[in-house]
Amino acid sequence: MEANKLLEESLSRFDEKFRVLGPKFVSEFRQLGDVIASCELQAEPFVDSLLKFADAVVAVRKNVALRDLPVPPYDLWLPFKAEQVYPCDPAVLEDAKEIFHEKMRGLASLWRVMLDSQPTPTPRPSDPALARLRDQIVSLTDKCNRRCSGHPSIKSPLFRAPSETSVWNDLNTREIPTYVTSETEFDKLVMDLNVALDESLRPDVRKLDIAPPPGPLARVKELLHNGDFRHLGTLRNKPAHGLDQSKVGLIYQKLIGKTFIDRDDVASWQQLQKALLEMLVDALKGVRDCFEPTAAEASDSAAVGRR
């Protein structure tokens, strides 16, 4: 039970700091606030949610004024800590999950109050090209869900419904159709796109250790994990993990032909934003096409029909 006690104490200390610092640093806390709201949905297993929350806290702590925020003791539940037997006890894990999600519910409620108290920013005009990309992304995710749900061997959607993913509203109304004005805004866009698209995938496609059934879902998994879509996850982890710049630079190079972007190079961040959205559109088109029967599947189906 020591692990759960440490978790509870750490989250309580975080709560105390968050209540004091949150109203003063709403902008700096936005990415962390989105992660808290995401964890509140309990869409991920406990350990995944805890790691995601810890990553977001580490990213926020790069701001000198916020470096005292406590990072939860996520390492106690990592596989290489297997010698610490207590986290492996199902009862201990269940208690830890309840402690964590109860705190996330309280923090998410507090975060909504902080956001509501902020003055409404003057909306920036949407860009027609970005708005078209937004419409394509929304349409393609819907088509993928329909084809996945309509497949006789699957009968359930590929992505969680947008109504179950709270970031979709911001993405549709503001983040996708308006150009970013900084690296921070680009990172926020990437994080929200990752929540809306990658984190909302069905587990047998998203998780490498879960085998999907043969057929369309196996093709979708192969495409998403080995195709350009995987770059979204790399870009999402950039601010939290301080990834080797060369890995990120290769993605920049592929998308806009340069390996590095200065923080104040707004034009390049905007160019990267559009290129990333175009990449996601192409990836979603590929996913949609995965549900078309292969020649072998069409032949088998025809053979069955002749019997």
98-107 pLDDT, tens digit each: 999 999 999 9
Q: Which residue has the tokens 């992505």?
A: 159
Q: Output the CA torsion sign for 227, 229, 275, 54.
A: negative
Phi and psi angles of residue 110, each rounded to the nearest 5 degrees, phi first: -65, -40
Beta bridge partners of 201: 159
Q: What is the pLDDT of residue 64?
A: 85
DSSP string, 159-189: B--GGG-THHHHIIIIITTS---SHHHHHHH
Q: Do the domain assignments include residue 94?
A: yes
| Same structural domain, 223 and 139 | yes
Using CA atoms, how far apart are residues 196 and 179, in angstroms rounded to an integer? Answer: 19
Number of domains in the chain: 2
User: Using an 8 Å Cβ cutoff, are 114 and 22 in contact?
Assistant: yes
| CA-CA-CA-CA dihedral for 125, 127, 132, 138, to nearest 10 | -50
| Same structural domain, 142 and 261 | yes
| Same structural domain, 147 and 219 | yes
| Same structural domain, 146 and 74 | no
Q: Do the domain assignments include residue 197?
A: yes
40: tokens are 């509140």
| Same structural domain, 154 and 102 | no
What are the residues whose beta carbons fall under 8 Å from the beta carbon of 257, sequence distance 6 or more?
Answer: none
Last residue of a domain, one of 116, 149, 168: 116
Please write the tens of the pLDDT for every residue from 3-16: 889 999 999 999 99
Burial class of residue 112, CB neighbours in 10 A (0-12, 13-18, 19+): middle
Last residue of a domain, one of 93, 116, 139: 116
Please write the tens of the pLDDT for every residue from 22-55: 998 888 898 899 889 888 876 568 888 898 899 9
| Same structural domain, 243 and 279 | yes
Last residue of a domain, one of 61, 94, 116: 116
| Same structural domain, 286 and 138 | yes
Q: Do the domain assignments include residue 291?
A: yes
| Same structural domain, 27 and 62 | yes
| Same structural domain, 148 and 288 | yes
Beta bridge partners of 159: 201
Q: What is the pLDDT of residue 306?
A: 47
Q: What is the pLDDT of residue 297?
A: 63
Q: Do the domain assignments include residue 161?
A: yes
Mean pLDDT by 10 residues, the chain (307 residues): 88 94 89 86 79 90 89 79 54 87 92 84 85 97 95 92 77 93 88 91 92 90 96 80 72 95 92 98 97 72 51
Q: Do the domain assignments include residue 22?
A: yes
User: Using an 8 Å Cβ cutoff, are 96 and 87 in contact?
Assistant: yes
Q: Do the domain assignments include residue 307?
A: no
| Same structural domain, 258 and 144 | yes
| Same structural domain, 192 and 215 | yes
Q: What is the pLDDT of residue 118?
A: 78
Burial class of residue 1, CB neighbours in 10 A (0-12, 13-18, 19+): exposed
Q: Do the domain assignments include residue 303?
A: no
Q: What is the pLDDT of residue 144?
A: 96
Using CA atoms, how far apart are residues 63 and 55, in angstroms rounded to an integer? Answer: 14
Q: Do the domain assignments include residue 246?
A: yes
Domain assignment of residue 29, given as a range: 2-116
| Same structural domain, 184 and 235 | yes
